[in-house]
A = this chain, B = another copy of it.
Amino acid sequence: MTYKIAILGASGYTGAELVRLIAGHPQMEIAALAANSKAGKTMAEVYPHLRHLDLPTLVTIDEIDFAGIDLVFCALPHKTSQEVIKGLPRDLKIIDLSADFRLRDPADYEKWYGNPHAAVERQADSVYGLTEFYRDQIAGASFVAGTGCNAATGQYALRPLIEKGLIDLDDIAIDLKAGVSGAGRALKEILLHAELSEGLHPYSVGGTHRHLGEFDQEFSAIAGRDVRVQFTPHLVPVNRGILVTVYVKGDPEAIHGALRDAYADEPFLVVLPFGEQPDMRHTRGSNFCHVGVVGDRIAGRAVVFAALDNLCKGSSGQALQNANLMLGLDETTGLMGVPLYP
């Protein structure tokens, strides 16, 4: 059977990445592509690397007849997403890639995003899309909220450690380095090549980055108490990739063991031998996440690393993995592509 897929917000990077991945999926067919600002254009005009594919012309969301659609990926900006999803049929399978449904508590949403949530009823409804930790719920869900790409990377490094009580919960610092595509195809001065290349800078520091909302929610839920991490994201002149360097207090070998055990059967999570560190370039273009642990010279301290491709495993790849689960397909279908290197 072939499932008919619609992508809303197809003109952004996560939309284009979904098209790339679905083009190689044996049981999905792209039935509709929406991008209000580019409606009427072909995908080849918006993304010439997709030129050889036979794709539907971009339309507005209103033009789509959702009756014929099996699953919708919603790759719209946050805030827009909640407005659109509010109006979609309740029985439609939806995966939202925006930030709108990641936080379960409306107050948390308002705190981090600055506006009251416009679709609170669907917010309650959604399953958090970190596949490895919400697999069963996702398989049974009709509405899944994709995680933040930074939030996913940090959680891959930390969840098993918090769950097992292996680290000091009051002393966690996540130093994150992220490639530029995470900021989207947005016309901002800081994203210009001449501004961004040949440098590296921190942003949203001191506890102001919105993905902290996800860390707070998830880590606190696992720990059964409030957990607050330090988090410093940096923008690096690289197209794709996230690397987290996490400073924790705990036994390095126990930490490594917990990660190795937690991910032993995971198809996309690769734990490196103890003492080795991952590199974001080794996951480029793929759905894999590499995790590593190194013990510090100071006893009782470890550095945990995780690396993944923000557009794929951090966003559109995760979304497709969840879609496979929701449609009853093998979770890895269409996602086993090897990283592109160099």
Interface of A, secondary structure class, is: loop
Binds B, one of A99-107, A146-154, A194-202, A319-327: A194-202
Given contacts A189-B185, A206-B296, A298-B207, contact A238 B199 (CB under 8 A): yes
Binds B, one of A58-66, A130-138, A159-167, A273-281: A273-281
Chain B minimum-CB-distance residue to A191: B192
Whether B245 lies near A232 (C-beta < 8 A) is yes
Whether A341 lies near B16 (C-beta < 8 A) is yes
Whether A236 lies near B239 (C-beta < 8 A) is no
CA distance A181 to B193 in the complex (A): 9
Listed residue (A186, A194, A197, A298) with the most chain B CB atoms within 10 angstroms of its CB: A194
- Residues of A within 8 Å of B, CB-based: how many? 86
Q: Mark A208-230, 1 if CB is under 8 A from B, else 0.
A: 10001000000000000000101
Q: Is A94 an interface residue (CB 8 A)?
A: no
* Shortest distance from the beta carbon of A48 to any chain B beta carbon, whole Å: 5
Q: Mark A43-55, 1 if CB is under 8 A from B, else 0.
A: 0000111111100
Whether B338 lies near A20 (C-beta < 8 A) is yes
By a beta-carbon cutoff of 8 Å, the part of chain A in contact with chain B is 13, 16, 19-20, 23-24, 47-53, 171, 173, 175, 177, 180-181, 185-189, 191-203, 205-208, 212, 228, 230, 232, 234, 236-241, 243, 245, 247, 268, 270, 272, 275, 277-286, 288, 290, 294-298, 301, 303, 305, 336-342
